[in-house]
Amino acid sequence: MAASHTDEQALLARAATDETVSKLRQTLERVVQRACPPWMAAHRDDLVQAAVLKVLAVQEKKGEGIGEMPASYLYRVAHSALVDEIRRHRRKREVVLEEGGDTVEQSERVHDPEHEASSRQTGQAIKDCLSRMKAERKRAVALYLQGTSVPESSRILGWNRKRTENLVFRGLMDLRQCLTKKGIRP
């Protein structure tokens, strides 16, 4: 009989967790709907799912259950998921052709030689400016420009988050100044 009592407790705990996750998802759906730009509307479900997974991962890492979380925390998580999705979308460089959802990779589009030359010059200027930076700032900014978030960068580089934030901020400031001196508007 003790086993059936344990099974009942497990079922009750799972039902409570399912209900809590359902409420969390509903809250995050509202937050994502408010924060999501119209051009990302097709990705809202993915954003909500990513936000839910982030919250669950953090709670599991802390060893805590999913209880009441402040709205500001949920907003930050949803915003983070949105920013990650926008970065992923931009890296992919898909262009919507029509409402049906057909897409074409940007590399398949007709190339504009003037735009390509300008992009090459800008890229070379960025490389030159990065080469003049201190090594720590250069690494932090390079990761940031590749779409890596500050928390991910701090983990990769083995630095604390505040140090990484400061190096990225100061490095981007140096990069803007350098590009401006080269006549390139960042």
Mean pLDDT in each 10-residue stretch from start to end of the chain (186 residues)?
A: 51 57 83 80 82 78 66 80 78 52 48 76 87 91 86 88 92 91 82
What CATH number has the domain spanning 2-107?
Answer: 1.10.1740
Half-sphere CA count of 135, side-chain side, radius 13 A: 1
Q: What confidence score (pLDDT) does residue 1 get?
A: 45
Q: What confidence score (pLDDT) does residue 51 get?
A: 83
Q: What confidence score (pLDDT) does residue 106 get?
A: 47
What are the sequence ranges of the domains in the chain? 2-107, 111-181
User: Reduced to 3 states, what is the DSSP secondary structure of residue 95?
Assistant: strand
Q: Where are the alpha helices (DSSP H) in the chain?
A: 2-35, 44-62, 71-92, 113-131, 135-145, 150-157, 161-181
Q: Which residues of 64-101 are buried (b: 16+ CB within 10 A; e: fewer)?
A: eebeeeeeeebbebbbebbebbbeeeeeeeeeeeeeee
Q: What confidence score (pLDDT) does residue 65 get?
A: 58
Q: What confidence score (pLDDT) does residue 15 get?
A: 45
Q: What confidence score (pLDDT) does residue 174 get?
A: 92
What CATH number has the domain spanning 111-181?
Answer: 1.10.10.10
Residue 138: strand pairing partners: none
